[in-house]
């Protein structure tokens, strides 16, 4: 699938959406598509390089050469995009969610949530915390 629309709210990913996401991962996300999404959220190139386990230089080369991310990096981009959309659903506004991502969280042992986006375990912790917030179960 060519187009990755971060504005699409996948909510709970059903089987049809999941299959389209699988195809998106398999084909890889083009840097231009990633860049369009990445420019709408408050993560720097340095942060993205950490989340994707790529050097900043490699990220810049991907941009200059209009490369496509490999499946593992594409999957991580999609996971973060889905989590970001979920956070906006829970908090109601991107600015409020952005602020939450930047603030040390008691339930996460004082860690800023955005510091956990470099692996699936951290993403799952944030997703679980968003669910608790949604249902009013605070630490």
Per-residue pLDDT reduced to its tens digit, 12-31: 556 678 889 999 999 999 99
Domain boundaries, the chain: 15-134
* Under 8 Å between Cβ of 75 and 118: no
Tell me the pLDDT tens digit for each residue of 21-78: 999 999 999 999 999 989 988 999 999 999 999 999 999 999 999 999 999 999 999 9
Does the model's pTM come out above 0.85?
A: yes
Among 101, 109, 68, 104, smallest CA distance to 84 is for: 101
């Amino acid at each position: 699938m060519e187009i990755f629309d971060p504005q699409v709210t996948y909510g709970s990913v059903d089987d049809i959406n999941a299959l389209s996401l699988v195809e998106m991962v398999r084909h890889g996300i083009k840097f231009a598509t990633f860049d369009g999404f990445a420019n709408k959220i408050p993560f720097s190139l340095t942060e993205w390089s950490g989340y994707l386990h790529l050097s900043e230089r490699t990220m810049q080369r991907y941009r200059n050469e209009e490369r496509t991310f490999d499946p593992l990096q594409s999957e991580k981009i999609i996971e973060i995009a889905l989590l970001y959309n979920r956070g906006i659903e829970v908090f109601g506004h991107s600015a409020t969610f952005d602020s939450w991502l930047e603030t040390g969280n008691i339930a996460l042992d004082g860690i800023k949530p955005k510091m956990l986006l470099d692996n699936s375990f951290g993403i799952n912790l944030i997703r679980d915390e968003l669910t608790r917030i949604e249902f009013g179960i605070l630490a």
